[in-house]
Structure 1
Amino acid sequence: MTAAGVQWPWRDALADLLRRSRLAQPDGLAAEVNAALAPLGLEARIYLVDQEQRTLRPVPRPGGPPPGGLAVDSTVPGRVFTTVEPASLPATDTDPARLWLPLLDGTERLGVLEVTVRGGTPLDDPDLLAGCDLFTQLVGHLIATKLPYGDALLKVRRTRRMSEASELLWRLLPPLTFACDRAVVAAILEPCYEVGGDGFDYAADGSTLYFAIFDTAGHHLRAGLGTAVVMSAIRAARRSGDGLYAMARAADRALEEHLPELRFTTAVLAQLDLQTGRLRYVNAGHPRPLLIRGGKVVRSLDGGRRMPLGLDDPRTEVAHLTLERGDRLLLFSDGITEARDRAGAAFGIERLTGLVERGTGDLPAPEALRRLCHAALSHYDGPPSDDATLVLVEWSDEAARAMLPSNAQT
């Protein structure tokens, strides 16, 4: 209700969209969004970011073919996506006024929502901005909810066919971004349509954040199956209350029992106490994570070494480290550092370190990782020949708030 006792019209729009969404199929969500906005004299178009995080692609809706995609790195909507800050475009002789709003599910960046404003309503009208913000939040949550129930929204985000291994692993992985009031986790995988044995995982419960990265030897579906078995064994152990040592041993047994012909899976398994910054980790033959402090790589995590998972190594030792507020940990697979350009030069840890220090700075973790991955991929002569996975974990209260639009940071 407003101060004058008049019903706020956006309340009806939000309630109407919730009602419409109950039985909506994924391919019908865009139409329901516009039906709920129609009484307000507004129209909307949903754009979802593609798997490569390079282009915003429109969700089809009735009434004609969709427009083309919008580049993330060179357009106003792209800037809205990368900064999670809304933008407005005033009316011209040929186009009505428009608002662009970041489309989020919590802190997971899904795309942007374009709202067309007619009738002379000022783009800085407080009621319009507040209503659009709440409405867009609801649309983001509904998209995340509807994604598993059909293929339409998934297909919007794809530019080509996905391999069988990628189909398997993408369905097992958690969202690429997670944030709570004390930490942020961001991840990215390339080539996103041809992922073989790479994967990552995380879970936050109470004061503990668990996170991991995996790389099963080999390529294609068999490598993907190995990673799926390892992730399932570790999740089962974790959810039964086991610690890092027992998780690693559970993965050993699972690979030996179910996929003995596979050679091994390298991995880093870690637990972070979100209250104290106390980190515990095991490194099963994986590249050593990097500790980033004040924008500089200050050391690698060299402890907790054991044989790769599946090689039955009972000598697992758990290493310890205490982080400082604002520290970042970068986990990566060897597809990043061992990739070679046309001249045969390896990308290398030094080049990765340089990119981290030059290109990520104060950027929020998901955007820092997106730029870091794209910079690394530009080194290759064509797509990478091996999976390239990056996971960035930041222990910081401020980092989590920085991932929200400014009007939601209070």
Structure 2
Amino acid sequence: MTAMDTVVDVGWCQALRTLLDRAHLVTPSGLAALVAEAAGPLGLRPTIWLIDYEQTSLHAMPVAGRETPGPIPVDGSLPGRAFASVVSLYVGGSGTQAGRWWVPVVNGTERFGLIEFTPVDGTDGQGRDFVTRCELLAGLVGHLLGTIMTGGDGIEQLRRTRPMSVAAELLWRQLPPLTSSTEAAVVTAILQPCYDVGGDGFDYVLENTGACLLVLDAMGRGLGAGLACAVALAAIRATRRAGRGLYDQARAADAALLDQFQDARFATAVLAELDLETGRLRYVNAGHPAPLLLRGGRLVRQLSDGRRMPLGVDDPSVEVAEESLEPGDRLLLYTDGVTEARADGGERFGVDRLVDLTERHAGSGLPAPETLRRLAHTVTAHQGGPPADDATLMLVEWSATASHRTVPGARQVIRDDEGRS
């Protein structure tokens, strides 16, 4: 290591220390200014871009004294490519415009957005060592965002393009991160319409040796459905955390719904446990669409066993079904708002289209959350107007390769003066 390398590393260590020292007292709205302050001595101008709830555009966090740029679409843009693929991407400068790096910001493996690092004052912004340091700083910012973003409204307001309904506000606060990964598997989910969701919800636990999965669809729309979904989710979660199995979880949801609602309110659901060492899947289906088992680019089968009445109906005859998965398999859970989505002419989206698009996107090497993002937007585009029902998707990939695709990595893409990459 040369003396210059030592000086550079000391500068980056000081930037990280500034972030950590000041993060104890920073507000969510003040994080962008803090990152700019920490990176300034390195000859960098950072801009934090956050994904909106629709997952269609990236929005810049404001910094006092700077002009805030407008949103950038994910589809069709170079920054969008960096976000979608979870890779660091270099865009070469042209004319008076400096080149810059677009580096993913994740918390664990949940995608929050990007940091745009623009070198200033003649700083050399190319080379593997440089982007590795940028990724280290962006990784710290991702964890800080995950810690502080709910402590204020500024980030939430930035990520919303319109007001959220009371039911949606309630449900979003109950949900786990959209994506989590381990060395063996990745679980990712998406919920639409994000600002007006009513009765749909999901939950999961991802441990080293196993995963617990839940997709819910409470009857009706609006706040009543949202409350029913939240009650069922909480009952199942509490029972699971007490060490009880699928049968008891379903019965706990029955009891909670019957106790809290006098209007026979119920929810369909799939509850499942996947052993990530053996591939043994155990599941209960409470009146819900059958999960899809995908292998090698095709549908193996719909998992149609383990049937019982919907949650909230006193049904003690719960049967826990079993299925064997193989490494590399994909398990897709969904609510009927996906397959029942209709075009202007009345054509349903359907299971066949769902399977085809899932395998087409997943087979292209995209990270699992990007597969679901594109799939959800295709369902939305299929409908001629506002959705008639909520639509929730959960994708589980039992694959180390799929897991590693959700972790940020570096790939250099240089754009020429004409904008080609």
Q: TM-score range by the shorter chain?
A: over 0.9
TM-score, normalised relative to structure 1:
0.96
Aligned partner of 1:100 in structure 2 is: 102
Aligned partner of 1:399 in structure 2 is: 402
Q: Secondary structure at the match of 2:87?
A: coil
Pair 1:165–1:278, CA change in 2 (3 A): same
Pair 1:12–1:321, CA change in 2 (3 A): same
Aligned partner of 1:378 in structure 2 is: 381
Question: Once the two structures are superposed, what CA deviation does each residue of 1:235-274 show, in whole Å capped at 9, x if it has no partner?
Answer: 1100100000000000000000012324210000000111
5 Å matches for 1:115-134?
A: 115-134=117-136
Say whether 1:306 aligns with 2:304. no
Say whether 1:20 aligns with 2:37. no
Contact map agreement 1:266 1:284 (CA 8 A) in 2: yes
Aligned partner of 1:51 in structure 2 is: 53
Correspondence for 2:231 among 215, 229, 232: 229
C-alpha displacement of 1:126: 4.0
5 Å matches for 1:342-357?
A: 342-357=344-359
Aligned partner of 2:177 in structure 1 is: 175
Contact map agreement 2:181 2:206 (CA 8 A) in 1: no
Question: Once the two structures are superposed, what CA deviation does each residue of 1:114-152 show, in whole Å capped at 9, x if it has no partner?
Answer: 011023333323442222111010111111111110111
Aligned partner of 2:242 in structure 1 is: 240
For residues 286 and 376 of structure 1, what CA distance do their matches in structure 2 show? 19
Runs of 4+ in 1 over 4 A off after TM superposition: 1-7
Correspondence for 2:37 among 35, 57, 80: 35
Aligned partner of 2:390 in structure 1 is: 387
C-alpha displacement of 1:63: 1.3
Contact map agreement 1:90 1:123 (CA 8 A) in 2: no
Say whether 1:136 aligns with 2:134. no
5 Å matches for 1:245-264?
A: 245-264=247-266
Aligned partner of 2:283 in structure 1 is: 281
Q: What is the identity, as a one-letter code, of the residue corresponding to 1:134?
A: L
Once the two structures are aligned, what percentage of the paired residues are identical?
53
Question: Once the two structures are superposed, what CA deviation does each residue of 1:153-182 show, in whole Å capped at 9, x if it has no partner?
Answer: 111111100000000000000010010111
For residues 177 and 21 of structure 1, what CA distance do their matches in structure 2 show? 25
TM-score, normalised relative to structure 2:
0.94
For residues 262 and 326 of structure 2, what CA distance do their matches in structure 1 show? 41
Correspondence for 2:204 among 199, 202, 206: 202
Contact map agreement 2:184 2:208 (CA 8 A) in 1: no
Q: Secondary structure at the match of 2:170?
A: helix
Contact map agreement 1:263 1:310 (CA 8 A) in 2: yes
Contact map agreement 1:161 1:193 (CA 8 A) in 2: yes
Correspondence for 2:149 among 123, 147, 158: 147
C-alpha displacement of 1:278: 0.6
Q: What is the identity, as a one-letter code, of the residue corresponding to 1:383?
A: P
Contact map agreement 1:289 1:331 (CA 8 A) in 2: yes
Question: Once the two structures are superposed, what CA deviation does each residue of 1:299-354 show, in whole Å capped at 9, x if it has no partner?
Answer: 10011000000001000000001100010011010101112221222222222223
Pair 1:271–1:400, CA change in 2 (3 A): same
Question: Once the two structures are superposed, what CA deviation does each residue of 1:182-221 show, in whole Å capped at 9, x if it has no partner?
Answer: 1100101110000000000001234221011000000000
Contact map agreement 1:17 1:36 (CA 8 A) in 2: yes
Aligned partner of 2:324 in structure 1 is: 322
Q: 5+ residue gaps in structure 2?
A: 412-421
Question: Once the two structures are superposed, what CA deviation does each residue of 1:29-68 show, in whole Å capped at 9, x if it has no partner?
Answer: 1000011111112111100011111101111111144111
Q: 5+ residue gaps in structure 1?
A: none
Q: What is the identity, as a one-letter code, of the residue corresponding to 1:326?
A: G
For residues 265 and 129 of structure 2, what CA distance do their matches in structure 1 show? 60
Q: What is the identity, as a one-letter code, of the residue corresponding to 2:27?
A: Q
For residues 214 and 250 of structure 2, what CA distance do their matches in structure 1 show? 11
Bigger mean CA deviation after superposition, 171-180 or 117-126? 117-126
Contact map agreement 1:360 1:372 (CA 8 A) in 2: no
Contact map agreement 1:88 1:123 (CA 8 A) in 2: no
Contact map agreement 2:85 2:366 (CA 8 A) in 1: no
For residues 91 and 339 of structure 1, what CA distance do their matches in structure 2 show? 44
Aligned partner of 2:89 in structure 1 is: 87
